[in-house]
Amino acid sequence: MKNKFDIERLAKLSRIELTPEETTKFQPELERFLEFAKCMDKYDLKEEVADSVTDNTLPFNKDQHVVSLDHHQVLKSESHCSQNYFKLPRVVKK
């Protein structure tokens, strides 16, 4: 990616809009990143699987069957219910 067309194509594929100033600013940054990424070509990574960045493994919890609360009983005790659902105040404005 050595020309302006490529960063504009990358922006289009990423669904972001860049101003001409941003394109000028990010072009050298992208080129530096790609040059850095090229240094990984010298390593044989075909056999490596990166499933974790640490050696720590978390123990699995045993599955347990737990009796849930009765849906109708919970809704009956709540004052802010509407048609079998909890009615909450709007937190996101349109």
pLDDT tens for each residue of 9-63: 888 899 999 999 998 888 888 888 888 888 888 877 777 666 666 767 778 888 8
Question: Can you give the residue range of the structural domain that contains 20?
Answer: 4-42
Say which CATH number the domain at 30 has: 1.10.20
pTM metric for this prediction: 0.39
Count of alpha carbons within 13 angstroms of residue 8, beta-carbon side: 7
Number of domains in the chain: 1
Contacts of 23 (CB under 8 A, 6+ apart): 4, 7, 8, 11
Q: Mind giving me the DSSP string for 54-76?
A: SS--PPPPPP---PPPPHHHHHH
Residue 62 domain-assigned (yes or no): no
The partner residues of 86 in beta bridges, in order of sequence, read 81
Residue 92 domain-assigned (yes or no): no
Residue 13 domain-assigned (yes or no): yes
